[in-house]
Amino acid sequence: MAILSWLTTPSTFCRSVYQLRPQNRPAEMSKWVWVTEMDLKGKVILVGVTGSIAIYKACELVSQLRQQGAEVHVLMTPHATRLISPLTFHALSGNPVVTDLFVPETHAIEHVALADRADAFLIVPATANTIAKLALGLADDAVTTTALACPAPLVIAPAMETKMWQHPATQGHIKTLQARGVIIVEPETGWLASGKQGVGRLASLERILAALREALKRRERGQDLAGWRVVVTAGATREFFDPVRFISNPSTGKMGIAVAQAARERGAEVVLIAGHTEAPLPEGVEIVQVRTAKEMLDAVLRYADWLEVFVGAAAVADFTPKQVAPTKLRRSETERLLLELEPTADILMALRQRRPDAFLVGFAAEVGEPSEKAKEKLAHKGLDMIVANDVSQPDAGFGADTNRCTFITMDGQIKTLPLLTKLEVAHQLWDFVREHRERQKAEVKRVCR
């Protein structure tokens, strides 16, 4: 009976490509088409298969990858081989399956060679056990050993019973892997074969393929920001009016964190100045934790002479209480509380004064059509570029994993992005900034000649 609780219903392969997250999205599938554009022909894809009942869906995935021209190599954990024969994956992939590193014919050294040749490594389905091993860096089977030796982007599609997925241990491991840049294709909510409804069902094939293409794009970009010095702000500031109470906003910092993570992945040296955030902070990035708008300003100015590019993605308070009570305010001691607020200092303007030459990117989170207000902000603050987004949309802005953004530059270039994950928005932002800076540098050279 326990086994039954892992049984999942067959996946609905007709689900649309734009669904990178399990929730329903408005039908804007066409806007996601570019995500699917990358050609898989000739790409070397490793597929790690683990001991989940959703393993049968990996057969369809392997077959699809091969049909689309990819060179597919399957690696299986010993538990996976007890659910499906390696022969099935051998037939579907057209290549021998690596199941045991200690058997000469499946080559103990071959897995390193495969890891080096891989363009991407997918682990589908990923059990709670394998996820934990990956987070800890354990390497005791073909899948985890190869994953550790593989420099290519790693995509993990977990599948498990709801309680296993929601267990703090599993969630902790997922956060660790995300912070390391692993792409997680989160499981879906739906009917489990046990008869229960819950989260834990393997993501649809389309979502897994969309994540694979995101990974391949990431690999193509390589280390194109190597040598860049970047400062990013993220999250909400908190403006205290007594030692335990503050005024703030619902920002979770996900957008700024994604911007910092994307820059890091592409080789930049990154400082992330974080207010209150509710998402895992990326590894390999210097983190400066602040609470108030004033602390954020001070931190930014400390790095002012060092940075080349600044991205202000934090939701910084515009107003702060004029006075902070030295002790906790009590209801019993005052009939009503009137707070007098004063404007906070403008971080972007202060930085522009200090660094007229740096490339400054601001964010304009507005309610309603954001472009006009964003253009005003761009000009007023002397920014090089602004990212406008409408935070009133449920799939964009505060807390969402996706965003709808428009990039506007000071020389009048406008680029509107479709609904994308925040990490993909971040990569598009860096593509745009890089292109723009290169043009600026060429222009300076031309004028100086």
Check binding of 252 to ligand FMN (CB under 6 A).
no
Q: How far is CA 264 from CA 68, 228, 235, 352, in A?
A: 31, 10, 18, 24
Check binding of 48 to ligand FMN (CB under 6 A).
no
- The answer to whether residues 188 and 202 touch, using CB atoms and an 8 Å cutoff, is yes
Check binding of 219 to ligand FMN (CB under 6 A).
no
Among 65, 160, 203, 296, which residue interacts with ligand FMN (rule: CB under 6 A)? 160
Kindly state the smallest distance separating residue 77's Cβ from ligand FMN, in Å: 3
- In sequence order, the 6+-apart residues with CB closer than 8 A to the CB of 348 are 310, 312, 360, 362, 381, 383
Kindly state the smallest distance separating residue 184's Cβ from ligand FMN, in Å: 14
Q: Which is nearer to ligand FMN, 141 or 239 (CB)?
A: 141
Q: Please identify which of the residues 24, 95, 249, 403 carries the catalytic annotation.
A: 249
Could you tell me which of 19, 46, 1, 63 has the C-alpha nearest to residue 187?
19
Q: Which is nearer to ligand FMN, 144 or 406 (CB)?
A: 144
- Cis geometry, peptide bond prior to residue 104 (ω within 30 degrees of 0): no
Check binding of 358 to ligand FMN (CB under 6 A).
no
Per DSSP (E only), the strands in 188-283 are 188-191, 197-201, 229-234, 239-242, 245-247, 269-274
With H, G, I as helix, E, B as strand and everything else as coil, classify residue 54: coil
Binding region for ligand FMN (CB under 6 A) out of 73-81, 250-258, 393-401, 431-439? 73-81
Q: Which residue has the tokens 């959703």?
A: 54
Check binding of 51 to ligand FMN (CB under 6 A).
yes
Binding region for ligand FMN (CB under 6 A) out of 124-132, 209-217, 220-228, 301-309? 124-132
Other Cβ atoms less than 10 A from the Cβ of 156: the count is 26
With H, G, I as helix, E, B as strand and everything else as coil, classify residue 108: coil
Check binding of 89 to ligand FMN (CB under 6 A).
no
Binding region for ligand FMN (CB under 6 A) out of 27-35, 45-53, 149-157, 287-295? 45-53
Q: What are phi and psi of 324, to 5 degrees?
A: -115, 120
Check binding of 152 to ligand FMN (CB under 6 A).
no
Long-range residue pairs from 412-419, CB within 8 A, at least 24 positions apart, any chain: 414/371, 418/28, 418/31, 418/32, 418/34, 419/18, 419/25, 419/28, 419/31, 419/32, 419/395
Dist CA 387 CA 379 (whole Å)? 13
Tokens of 143: 């899948």
24 in active site: no
Among 92, 120, 159, 307, which residue interacts with ligand FMN (rule: CB under 6 A)? 159
Q: Which is nearer to ligand FMN, 40 or 80 (CB)?
A: 80
406: amino acid identity, one letter: T
Kindly state the smallest distance separating residue 8's Cβ from ligand FMN, in Å: 7
Kindly state the smallest distance separating residue 74's Cβ from ligand FMN, in Å: 13
Dist CA 229 CA 234 (whole Å)? 17
Check binding of 164 to ligand FMN (CB under 6 A).
yes
Among 46, 65, 128, 360, which residue interacts with ligand FMN (rule: CB under 6 A)? 128
Kindly state the smallest distance separating residue 155's Cβ from ligand FMN, in Å: 16
Binding mask 3-42 for ligand FMN (x = CB under 6 A): x--x------------------------------------
Question: Annotated catalytic sites, by residue?
Answer: 249
Q: Where does this chain bind ligand FMN (CB under 6 A)?
A: 3, 6, 50-54, 77, 79-80, 127-130, 141, 159-160, 164
